């Protein structure tokens, strides 16, 4: 790799950090330390965790340097510290937190100067800049987690949120696309950054199925709720007699009937699909159909698939990203949401969460056997 691409990496790291800091810019230190939800971290934890993850990989692992704050890292370990405990931890806060983020970045850029990122580099972490891609993805993914929390902050306003939420309506047109039975390739290709859970790319057999060209809209979900009494999406509140408003960020904004529904649990998504006489697609069906789907990108889409390893799965570079979550208790979401940075999005990307969760920007589309 050339000096040019090192410059490109440094530039992208700077852009991700700008985005992270822009998200919290409207908040004061007290708000950063507030526990708004027991299923989400206080923002100060996310910020320190982003920097600590960077120190761990780009400074300690790649640069062979000692940690700057002794064993501080154990408080930012996501597995050791479940979200419900994160408000109480002796993590960095306020001025110290900001200084740590800046110091880590300075060291990481210093190390970047001296590493070999060639395609034939000896260390697989460095080959084609893998570890830097991982770092970027990690910070940008935490931006989305932060945006989940920011929906709970009354009065939170940000241009970034306004712009990203300004989606068009779900386009009218033919309702479903037919996908023929056959063999399809699933998973990430050999080259390019992907997480361990997206490999190995492998063939699968699918029966013929139909999948909705567009995701389920707010109007359709509202009709389903009225008909069944199923729990409304998170942040929906009754508006007078019949309608609903969206109370995210402490505001009461109209819900646009033609926009894709979000903040739906897997349980709600699955119930909707059955109510509509259909079912959720499997994640393999979703990936096979991906080139023919519209409306992808406003909300993650729940699938019928539990989060399981692909054949030949090997944890890389650290087991805690995927392995502890494999099993029937986590369901896969595909696509991306308005809060997902484009650099995180690819057809093979697998997201997951517990089936009752609604704080994520999650909707659905339906499928059925042909
Ligand atoms: C892929 C969104 C489920 O937030 O738990 C961030 C991403 N992993 N740091 C999560 C992640 C480690 C992960 N999800
Ligand atoms: Fe993380």
d(CA 72, CA 187): 36
260, 264, 252: which is closest to 356 by C-alpha? 264
Residue 121 in tokens: 């580099």
CA 284 to chain centre: 19
Four-residue CA torsion sign, 364, 308, 189, 288:
negative
Q: What is the pLDDT of residue 3?
A: 60
**Whole-number Å distance between alpha carbons of 281 and 285:** 6
* Calpha distance 128→68 (Å, rounded): 27
Q: What is the pLDDT of residue 347?
A: 96
The first and second tokens of residue 82, run together, are 């479940």
Ligand nearest to the CA of 49: 2
Mutate to test the pocket of ligand 1, among 145, 197, 307, 348 (most ligand atoms within 8 A of CB): 145
Q: How many CB atoms lie within 10 A of CB 253?
A: 12
CB 198 within 8 A of CB 185: no
Look-up: residue for tokens 């891609």?
A: 133
| Cβ(138) – ligand 1 distance below 6 Å | yes
Q: How far is the CA of 44 from the centre of ligand 1 (A)?
A: 17
The rounded average pLDDT for each run of 10 residues, N- to C-terminus, in the chain (370 residues) is 81 98 97 96 97 98 96 95 94 96 98 95 95 98 98 95 85 87 97 96 98 96 97 95 91 92 98 98 98 94 98 97 98 98 97 98 98
Q: Supply the pLDDT for residue 37.
A: 95
Q: What is the pTM of this model?
A: 0.97
195 Cβ inside 6 Å of ligand 1: no
Q: Is 141 in the pocket of ligand 1 (CB under 6 A)?
A: yes
DSSP conformational letter for 231 = P
pLDDT score of 245: 96
The count of residues in the chain is 370
Pairwise CA distance, residues 268 & 216, whole Å? 12
Ligand 1 pocket test target in 141, 317, 351 with most atoms within 8 Å of CB? 141
| C-alpha torsion sign, points 346, 351, 355, 358 | negative
Q: What CA–CA distance (Å, rounded) separates 143 from 47?
A: 9
Residue in 60, 233, 48 with CA at minimum distance from that of residue 142: 48
* Residue 206, SS3 per DSSP: strand
Dig out the tokens for 86 from the structure: 């994160």
What distance lies between CA 298 and its chain's CA centroid?
Answer: 12
Q: Write the residue with the smallest CA distance to atom 7 of ligand 1.
A: 141
Structural tokens at position 297: 């990108």
Ligand found nearest the CA of 137 = 1
Token readout for 294 is 């519209």
What pLDDT does residue 1 have? 52
Residue 4: per-residue pLDDT:
65
Give the per-residue pLDDT at 240.
Answer: 82
Radius of gyration of the chain (CA): 21
Q: Which ligand has the shortest distance to the CA of 319?
A: 1
d(CA 167, CA 190): 33
Report how far residue 191's alpha carbon sits from residue 139's, in angstroms, rounded to the nearest whole number.
22
Angle at 287 between CA 283 and CA 288, to 5 degrees: 115
Which residue has the CA at smallest separation from atom 8 of ligand 1?
A: 321
Give the C-alpha separation, 245 to 252, whole Å: 6
Instruction: Return the ∠ at Cα 361 (arms to 31 and 91), rounded to 5°.
Output: 35
Verify whether ligand 1 is closer than 6 Å to residue 321 (CB atom): yes
């Amino acid at each position: 790799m050339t000096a040019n691409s090192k410059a490109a990496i440094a530039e992208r790291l700077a852009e991700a950090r700008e985005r992270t800091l822009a998200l919290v810019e409207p908040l004061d230190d007290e708000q950063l330390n507030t526990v708004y939800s027991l299923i989400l971290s206080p923002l100060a934890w996310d910020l320190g965790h982003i920097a600590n993850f960077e120190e761990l990989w780009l400074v300690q692992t790649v640069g062979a340097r000692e940690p700057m704050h002794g064993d501080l890292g154990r408080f930012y370990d996501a597995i050791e510290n479940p979200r419900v405990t994160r408000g109480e931890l002796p993590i960095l806060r306020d001025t110290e937190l900001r200084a740590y983020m800046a110091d880590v970045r300075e060291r990481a850029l210093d190390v970047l100067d001296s590493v070999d990122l060639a395609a034939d580099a000896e260390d697989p972490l460095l080959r084609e800049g893998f570890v830097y891609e991982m770092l970027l993805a990690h910070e940008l993914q935490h931006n989305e987690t932060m945006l989940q929390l920011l929906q709970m902050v009354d009065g939170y306003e940000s241009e970034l949120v306004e712009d990203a939420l300004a989606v068009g309506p779900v386009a009218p047109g033919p309702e479903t696309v037919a996908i023929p039975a056959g063999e399809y390739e699933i998973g990430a290709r050999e080259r390019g950054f992907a997480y361990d859970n997206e490999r190995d790319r492998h063939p699968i057999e699918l029966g013929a199925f139909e999948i909705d060209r567009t995701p389920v809209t707010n109007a359709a979900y509202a009709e389903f709720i009225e008909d069944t009494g199923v729990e409304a999406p998170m942040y929906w509140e009754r508006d007078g007699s019949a309608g609903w408003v969206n109370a995210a960020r402490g505001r009461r904004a109209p819900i646009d009937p033609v926009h894709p529904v979000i903040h739906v649990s897997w349980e709600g998504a699955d119930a909707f699909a059955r109510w509509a006489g259909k079912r959720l697609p499997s994640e393999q069906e979703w990936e096979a159909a991906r080139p023919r789907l519209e409306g992808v990108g406003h909300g993650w889409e729940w699938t019928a698939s539990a989060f399981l390893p692909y054949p030949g799965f090997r944890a890389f570079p650290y087991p805690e990203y995927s392995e502890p979550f494999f099993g029937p208790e986590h369901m896969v979401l595909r696509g991306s949401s308005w809060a997902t940075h484009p650099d995180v999005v690819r057809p093979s990307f697998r997201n997951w969460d517990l089936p009752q969760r609604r704080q994520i920007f999650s909707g659905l589309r339906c499928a059925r056997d042909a």
